Chains A and B, each alone.
Chain A
Amino acid sequence: AQKITQTQPGMFVQEKEAVTLDCTYDTSDPSYGLFWYKQPSSGEMIFLIYQGSYDQQNATEGRYSLNFQKARKSANLVISASQLGDSAMYFCAMREGGATNKLIFGTGTLLAVQP
């Protein structure tokens, strides 16, 4: 069965510094996708970045990058040059391959960016 683990309940980071949010996963399916979502205090869910299991390169989207280490089954989110607006909950999620497209979320990491 698929499983997503986020071990950091909360983190602080200074404005303009980089921060890494950890995510490990477990699946027996060779084809899967990994996602990161942001949930600000307003409550909406915002898609940030996607990494496919067969992608050779780490995904990047602006200040977000995904450090994908397949052998370690980790998919850490790196936010460069943190901004105050990055303060939010961040969720890692995984979708296994096949027709089901069931997407499972981790428990989240609360990031607080300090000025």
Chain B
Amino acid sequence: NAGVTQTPKFRILKIGQSMTLQCTQDMNHNYMYWYRQDPGMGLKLIYYSVGAGITDKGEVPNGYNVSRSTTEDFPLRLELAAPSQTSVYFCASSPRTAPGELFFGEGSRLTVL
């Protein structure tokens, strides 16, 4: 089982560049989430989605955008990267039957220089 797959695992960006972190899940989960984890800190919710076509902001949405055109995919777009966006990004999904029991991807480490 693939579960939740994130790509890329590592990326270095220059200030002002843009990129998309890809996330796909093969478990037919309704709910999907994007979190960032700064060194030594907890996870902060960036955006989440309760189903295809529905997204909402989390705790720290500024500088990011998402879309959810299919149940499987939930890409995170970084526009005009800033050093403050240096972090590890986690995508996660959960089923309608157990909301909050998250299945996480392996994380994507992003460095903005």
Contacts and interface: CB of A to CB of B under 8 A. Distances in A.
Contact of B100 (A6, A103, A108): A103
A45 B33 contact: no
A109 B32 CA distance: 25
Interface string A28-67: 0000010101000001110100100000000000000000
A92 B59 CA distance: 16
A33 B41 contact: no
A93 interface: yes
Given A101-B31, A107-B41, A43 B102 contact: no
Size category, A interface: 20 to 34
Could you say which interface size class chain B belongs to?
A: 20 to 34
Interface string B75-102: 0000000000000101010100011111
B106 A103 contact: no
Nearest to A96: B100
Given A99-B50, A104-B59, A45 B42 contact: no
B42 A108 contact: yes
A93 B100 contact: yes
Contacts of A100: 48, 50, 56
A95 B45 contact: no
A43 B43 contact: no
Interface of B: 31, 33, 35, 41-45, 48, 50, 56, 58-59, 88, 90, 92, 94, 98-104, 106-107
27 contacts: A6-B42, A35-B100, A43-B107, A44-B106, A45-B43, A47-B101, A47-B102, A50-B98, A50-B100, A50-B101, A91-B42, A95-B99, A99-B50, A100-B50, A101-B48, A101-B50, A101-B94, A101-B99, A102-B45, A103-B100, A104-B59, A105-B35, A105-B43, A105-B45, A106-B42, A107-B41, A108-B41
Q: 8 closest A-B pairs (Cβ-Cβ)?
A: A95-B100, A45-B104, A107-B42, A105-B43, A101-B99, A105-B42, A33-B100, A108-B42
